[in-house]
Amino acid sequence: MQLTFSVLLISDNPTETGSIQEGLSRAGASQVHKCSSSENFLQKLDSLSIDLIILDIDKPSVDLFEQFSIVRDFCPKPVVCFSNDSDSKIIEKSVKAGVAAYIVDGKAPERVKPIIDVAIMRFNECQAVRKELASVKDKLSERAVIEKAKGLLMEHKNMSENEAYKTLRKMAMDQGKKISVISHEVCGVLIGLEGI
32 and 82 belong to one structural domain: yes
Domain of 157, in residue numbers: 137-195
Residue 106: is its pLDDT beyond 80? no
Distances (CA, A) of 148 to 142, 171, 185, 188: 10, 16, 11, 11
pLDDT of residue 2: 52
The confidence band for 1, taking pLDDT boundaries of 50, 70 and 90, is: very low
Closest CA to 77 of 2, 22, 7, 3: 7
Average pLDDT, the chain: 88
79 and 160 belong to one structural domain: no
16 and 81 belong to one structural domain: yes
pLDDT of residue 195: 63
The confidence band for 194, taking pLDDT boundaries of 50, 70 and 90, is: low
26 and 100 belong to one structural domain: yes
Residue 168: is its pLDDT beyond 90? yes
Q: What would the pLDDT profile of 63-101 be if each residue is shown by its tens digit?
A: 888 888 888 888 899 999 999 888 888 888 888 888 999
